[in-house]
Amino acid sequence: GIQVEQSPPDLILQEGANSTLRCNFSDSVNNLQWFHQNPWGQLINLFYIPSGTKQNGRLSATTVATERYSLLYISSSQTTDSGVYFCAKASGGSYIPTFGRGTSLIVHP
């Protein structure tokens, strides 16, 4: 079955809007990361967050491991936030992450 499910698959925003991206996973987590893949294909680390909440500027993330989900918040979005956001998690004794299919974000000026 699907181990990592991301929603929504696509999101279009006006610059300045806020958004929440969700990552649901089907079992326990020992390693969870959020990445941003920019339009040039580069994968950029956003958060390493197997549990708890972290903030970095306009971005923040929360993982609730007991309820098997993680959220990525983007506030005051900018056109440079466009791209695909991936959630990747590992579980059990393996630290090999499984990636979700991503959320494709377009921010219009």
Instruction: List residues near other proteins by CB under 8 A.
Output: 31, 33, 35, 41-45, 48, 86, 88, 90, 94-99, 101-102
**Minimum CB distance to other proteins, residue 4 (Å):** 10
Q: Please say which residue, 83 or 102, places its beta carbon nearer to other proteins.
A: 102
Q: Please say which residue, 74 or 90, places its beta carbon nearer to other proteins.
A: 90
Over the Cα atoms of the chain, what is R_g?
13
The answer to whether residues 50 and 32 touch, using CB atoms and an 8 Å cutoff, is yes
The answer to whether residues 2 and 26 touch, using CB atoms and an 8 Å cutoff, is yes
d(CA 100, CA 24): 9
**Minimum CB distance to other proteins, residue 91 (Å):** 12
